[in-house]
Amino acid sequence: MVRIVIENLGPFRRGSVELRPLTIVVGKNSVGKSMLLYLLWSTMSLAPDFSTLGDLAASMGAMDLANAVMKLVTEGKNPSREFRELLKIYIRVLPKALARSFEERLVKVFGVQLPKLLYRGSDRGRIVVEGASASIEFTISSSGIDARFLSVDESLVDKYEAVVPVPGKLVVMLNGVVVDEGYVASLGDVISVLMTVLGDFVVHALSPFFLTEYLCALLVDSRAGLARTLLKPFVDPSIAKGLLYADEQFIRLYYRLAEALARGNVVLDLAEPLVRELGVELVPVLEHGMYRLRVRTWTGYELPFEFAPSGVREAVITALALCARDSPRVVLIEEPEAHLHPRAQKAMARLVARSVNVLGKLVVVSTHSDYIVYTLSNLIALSRASERAREVGYSENEVLKPENVAAYLVKQNGDAAELVELEVSEEGIDESSFAEIAHELADERVFASL
């Protein structure tokens, strides 16, 4: 099970979310969905403070081991035992290095100091991230953040093999697959290979957490406004002053995805139904050394992306993130329904399913749209008869397996927000749980008789 547990943070006394290829968070406005999504993104995109990592590792004898590895490699001898011990040191100090980065990240993401993030009246909060073979606990208080492993399976380390095919060259493999290789002439060369292997360990033990911002994208709920204001060639510095970190990341993501589209690294065919519903064509252009987007409307008129209709500005970057071949691998989306008419909302939900099924992305969606929720629910219900998908206007790559979907309802319970896990089965998502937010869905359950 891969999940996150939170205690005494924001409006939550306690809650946990199991992450599956598609995780849906539903609720009314102002109940805590955004805070939950931002906490998820903060942990998923977090990288350790490498200065702290190096200092702590050195205090535990890492440099002596690194020297031993370098000596063995230059002599053409196998350094597997020493390399594994060196890797274990870096793994053991990893939580402290992550905690150092986490302090800065939370303040930047939420725009407040740590005490303001704690549940009312609490002096400390807690976040536990649980990966496939390790879990880390972060304790948050007014004095900072501390972290420790609750569990870690170091037997994975013993599966890494360091070999020296020729004197001076180090190759590290896991189960026969090369993780990294390089020529070793200094301690820096050893540490460079080690950092790649440490990242590989984190992916195997803790993914989808700690993947870095490059692999994990947050599509913030103010997409249309940010695009209109901050994508102009020259922006008054006073506008950008005080911009929240997630908003800055969204602007950087826009430029990355515009370049990916220009270079053919976006499977745009997956988004074709949504783009067609929006009535636009996307045109990447190179301006002032940077790739940007232009939009050609159904009338044939072409205009800069920042001047496109609001629904286009909301949906297009989300669509490109969902269709990008390599990065991001994890996509968190606030209110994918924003500024979209009902048919476009359904097209967006179907794109989410295609992204999960075709590109293997992990997607987290927070929404209060009945159209989004029940389109996804219908795609789950289709799993009972996926061969009939085309008969009812869907494709097989839109069918969602119930075991690949988790759904949660965030609701107010007294003076706290409560996270309620919803039942997901071959029937779809339990409709009774959505009574508070859905009122027009009786005619949407068209697959109940399949």
Please report whether residue 350 resides in a domain.
Answer: yes
Per the prediction, the chain carries an average pLDDT of 89
Domain edge (last residue) among 206, 241, 263: 206
Task: Determine, yes or no, domain membership for 449.
Answer: no
pLDDT in tens, 334-352: 999 988 999 999 999 999 9
**Whether residues 248 and 394 fall in one domain:** yes
Q: Do 309 and 431 belong together in one domain?
A: yes
* Total residue count of the chain as it appears in this document: 450
Question: What is the tens place of the pLDDT at every residue in 136-158?
Answer: 999 999 999 999 999 999 899 99
Q: Does residue 281 share a domain with residue 191? A: no
pLDDT classification of 445: cutoffs 50, 70, 90: very low
Q: Are 297 and 311 in contact (CB under 8 A)?
A: no
Report pTM.
0.90
Q: Give the DSSP letter string of 228-267.
A: HHHSSSS--HHHHTT--HHHHHHHHHHHHHHHHHHTT-B-
pLDDT of residue 448: 40
Domain of residue 153: give its range: 50-206
Q: What is the pLDDT of residue 427?
A: 85
Q: Distance (Å, rounded) from C-alpha 235 to C-alpha 227? A: 12
Same domain, 223 and 365: yes
Domain finish residue from 206, 229, 247 = 206
Same domain membership, residue 63 and residue 104? yes
* Residue 423: CATH number of its domain: 3.40.50.300
The answer as to whether 37 is a domain residue is no
In a domain, 43, yes or no: no
Q: Do 22 and 54 belong together in one domain?
A: no
Looking at residue 421, its pLDDT comes to: 92
| Mean pLDDT, rounded, for 418-438 | 77
pLDDT score, position 435: 59
Number of domains in the chain: 2
Give the pLDDT band of residue 235 (cuts 50, 70, 90).
low
The whole-number pLDDT of residue 444 equals 42
Confidence band of 297 (pLDDT split at 50, 70, 90)? confident
What is the C-alpha separation between 295 and 250, in angstroms, rounded?
19
Domain-ending residue, one of 206, 236, 254:
206
221 and 84, same structural domain? Answer: no
Q: Are residues 131 and 246 in the same domain?
A: no
Which range has the worst mean pLDDT, 1-5, 29-33, 387-391? 387-391
Is a pLDDT exceeding 50 seen at residue 49?
yes
